Structure 1
Amino acid sequence: MSVAVEHIATDQPPDAAKARDLDYGWHSDNQVQLLENGEAYFPKVFAALREARREILLETFILFEDKVGHELQHILIDAAQRGVKVVVSLDGFGCGELSPTFLGELADAGVTVQMFDPASKTLGFRTNWFRRLHRKIVVVDAAVAFIGGINFSADHLGDFGPEAKQDYAVQVIGPAVADLHHFALAQSGRQARARRGWRRRQQRPCAGSTEGEGLVRLIYRDNVRHRDDIEEAYIHALGQAQKRVVIANAYFFPGYRLLREIRNAARRGVQVQLIIQGQPDVLLAKLAARMLYAYLLKDGVVIHEYCQRPLHGKVALVDDDWSTVGSSNLDPLSLALNLEANVLIRDRAFNQQLYERLEILARDHCQTMPENRKPRLWLWRLTVGFLVFHVMRHFPAMTGWLPAHKPRLKPFEGQAHDR
């Protein structure tokens, strides 16, 4: 039996002309719960999936055939078999090792599986490195949503060992879920296929409000009209900072504008802390970040390297009420190439909870860089870093010079699998 899987060819769905214009506002009165690591995230997500009655929309960069992946597969199969509409969007690079059997069992149960820009290996290596679907979003019955940096893999659990990742996500319940639902539908190419009986506000973005408690706003980046939305949100928040800034980010190599705002906040007396990888899963990430240390340390930025295990988080907070959680790193891949999604949160209780968790991380599990740390040739390192980042930033435009296929959604047949 063949594997029926849909293939999203590039970085936009068939209705890209509509999807690229989506702008989402602030919504008040949301309940937002911080979920730290797989121990908190997977039970919440799996419980919501088991309770689904109408629809499951799931996007992830990585899904492995391990104990987490198999549990997710069984839950999705069970949901599809009881009549729930299940749409799963996977990245062709991050999920490129999934077997035809694993995917086929999902498809046979009625799960719609989409693979974003898959490519076969060349000489044993994957070549589809850039413009990945890096988002991690789950929306269940347009009533509860999850978003963050946690993939569906066992390396987000502590019992995985020293390489287990430190990461964060949030559960959102409330009016903002309508926007997450609308966005997930639009990006999967199913915006026009929403069930007729659902309320209209669940099918299109709301203008939102900037007043109230539990404020949440969805922001995202694509390679069309929302290239800089996440970066601009960081820059705006940093420019308004008066008391404190804490950024915990796995792959820290931002462009000059964002780097300057971090430095300027410290210069005007804001307490600025960075938590970045000290034990990276990608050594290049650590080396790149260290190129920037001297520039930041000399103006009072406090830099912590998390050394207990690989840091995979993408979170930040400013002052007492602004926070962000999502999939976007602060590096060229996330800020200039990948498809990403974050939520902005204006909520004092959530901000304080995140601050306390990051303070424990910095105090108990990090190495703090000395203020007088000034590596040899630091100016040369900063110059090279500046050039490298901006080459990567303009990489999408450069690739646009090459022949490219138009965005489309099409079915294709995979290899045979045994039942």
Structure 2
Amino acid sequence: MNSAVEHIATDQPPDEAKARDLDYGWQSGNQIELLENGEAYFPRVFDAMRAAQREILLETFILFEDKVGHELQGILIEAAQRGVKVVVSLDGFGCGELSAAFLKTLADAGVMVQMFDPASKTLGIRTNWFRRLHRKIVVVDAEVAFIGGINFSADHLGDFGPEAKQDYSVQVTGPAVADLHHFALAQSGRQVRTRRGWRRRQQRPSPWATDSGEGLVRLIYRDNLQHRDDIEEAYIHALSKAKKRAVIANAYFFPGYRLLREIRNAARRGVQVQLIMQGQPDVLLAKLAARMLYDYLLKDGVVIHEYCQRPLHGKVALVDDDWSTVGSSNLDPLSLALNLEANVLIRDRAFNQQLYDSLATLSKNHCQVIPAKDKPRLWLWRLTVGFLVFHVMRHFPALTGWLPAHKPRLKPFESQAHD
């Protein structure tokens, strides 16, 4: 394959990782728009790409060769052919079924395609399960950015059928786009010019902005280096300050005890806490794992809804009237302890209300409420098992350090390996 297609290893080498270890602060004066499902997301992203004049940066966990993937391919090729710099970073597991012909067509047109930790199948099975590039970010001309949970696949569209996913992303314009642009460049291995305000900070900015304001946005991310817990800590911090309401809609819910305790404590303080979980999951184990925690939460007043219309794939939350988060991170061991993830935190009343209205419609019309039991049974046993399973997974990166490992590096991706 054209040398424009490269491998990206599991984590950057230490010197590169240190250079890219940045804490992004709150940026004010942004415009944020909620995009629900592929019907809203794909037209907006594709229109931005078609209008691109200088650069398109794209990261995604999944890209399929379906009607969405082929439309994206055509748009990227057209952009590259008119002189736009196009960098596409794909996950080696989530995009492991892409054909060499599909990738070669992109590369031959001048698209810089990169694959994160690819691996050939062993006995017909993919083995590169852990530490995935799970982010979904698009930045166009450093002027508009998209971030959320939506992949480039037709199963995010309603006409896909009963298995179509319910999901969310946001469009961001304004000063925060510079941080998203800088982050996407750095993580893709591109050369980044250091600018004032992007220096490494000695103290990380609080997940809760000092002023509520409007249009405040902060990028947070999780890696396996210096930012292992940033997204989890943001949830914990926001819930600890909750006074009125908290709504969490998450596809894969199996957090650690600290986050569970903060959810429970908020409900005990009188905060109206609602969880929207999967009732019709694409992964049955996700539903079973979440249900292990229900009794622990229900007995303290947390209201739990299971979304039953189709698989829930969203990763969103809101607290009170102006704090929200949207991104790629689930609240499970894979996202909180292994995968590379990115969310935005948002302090904006209009956006918070828009997200609340969307989730309220979802819970009212398409969910079933899990009844609280007078005498919860086996909740302590379930919590104990959940605690053990979570922490085994949470320490998985350290456990794998006992095994021989390849040295992470960037290298050309040759077509003959896939012919």
TM-score, scaled relative to structure 2: 0.95
- Counterpart of 1:291 in structure 2 is 292
Contact 2:22 2:199 in 1 (8 A): no
CA distance, structure 2, for counterparts of residue 335 and residue 2 of structure 1:
35
CA distance in structure 2 between the aligned counterparts of 1:373 and 1:84, rounded to whole angstroms: 62
The alpha carbon displacement at 1:408 in A equals: 1.3
- Match of 2:358? 357
Aligned residue for 2:46? 46
Q: Percent identity?
A: 85
Q: Which residue number in structure 1 is paired with residue 161 of structure 2?
A: 161
1:188 counterpart = 2:151:
no
Partner in structure 1 of residue 37 of structure 2: 37
Describe how 1:390-409 pairs up with structure 2 within 5 A: 390-409=391-410
Distance 2:268 2:191 in 1: 46
Partner of 2:319: 318
1:28 aligns with 2:28: yes
Mapped partners of 1:168, 1:368: distance in 2: 22
Whether the 8 Å contact between 2:333 and 2:394 is mirrored in structure 1 is: yes
- How far is the alpha carbon of 1:380 from its aligned partner? 1.4
- When residues 17 and 205 of structure 1 are mapped into structure 2, their CA distance, relative to the original with a 3 A threshold, is closer
Aligned pair count reads 412
- Secondary structure (helix, strand or coil) at the match of 1:150 reads coil
Give how far 1:3 is off. 7.1
Partner of 1:126: 126
Structure 1 residue ranges (4+ consecutive) displaced by more than 6 angstroms after TM superposition:
201-209
CA separation of 1:374 and 1:342: change in aligned 2, threshold 3 A:
farther
Aligned to 1:138: 138
Cα deviation 1:327-383 (Å, max 9, x = unaligned) = 000000000000000000000000001000000000000010001176643321111
CA deviation vs aligned residue, 1:127-185 (integer Å, no higher than 9, x gap):
10000000000000100000000000000000000000000000000000000000001
- Is this contact kept in 2: 1:100–1:414, CA < 8 A? yes
Measured in 2, the distance between the counterparts of 1:153 and 1:42 equals 10
Query: 1:11 offset after TM fit, Å?
Result: 2.4
Q: 2:416 and 2:18 mapped to 1: Cα distance?
A: 33
Aligned to 1:10: 10
Residue 103 of structure 2 aligns with an amino acid whose one-letter code is: L
Measure how far apart 1:200 and its partner are.
4.5
Query: What TM-score, normalized to structure 1?
Result: 0.95
Kindly state the Cα deviation for residue 276 of structure 1 after the two structures are TM-superposed.
Answer: 0.5
The alignment yields a C-alpha RMSD, in angstroms, of 2.0
Change (3 A) 1:115 1:416: closer
Shift of 1:396: 0.7
Q: Where does residue 80 of structure 2 map in the other structure? A: 80
Tell me: CA distance 1:371–1:160, structure 2 relative to 1, closer, same or farther (3 Å).
Answer: same
Q: Which residue identity is paired with 1:221?
A: R
Q: Structure 1: which amino acid aligns with 2:258?
A: R
TM-superposed deviation, 1:15: 1.9
Change (3 A) 1:245 1:329: same
Per-residue deviation, 1:405:
2.4
Aligned to 1:258: 259
Range that drifts further, 395-404 or 142-151: 395-404
Aligned AA (2:88)? V
Q: CA deviation at 1:256?
A: 0.2
Structure 2 portions without partners, runs of 5+ = none
2:29 maps to amino acid: D
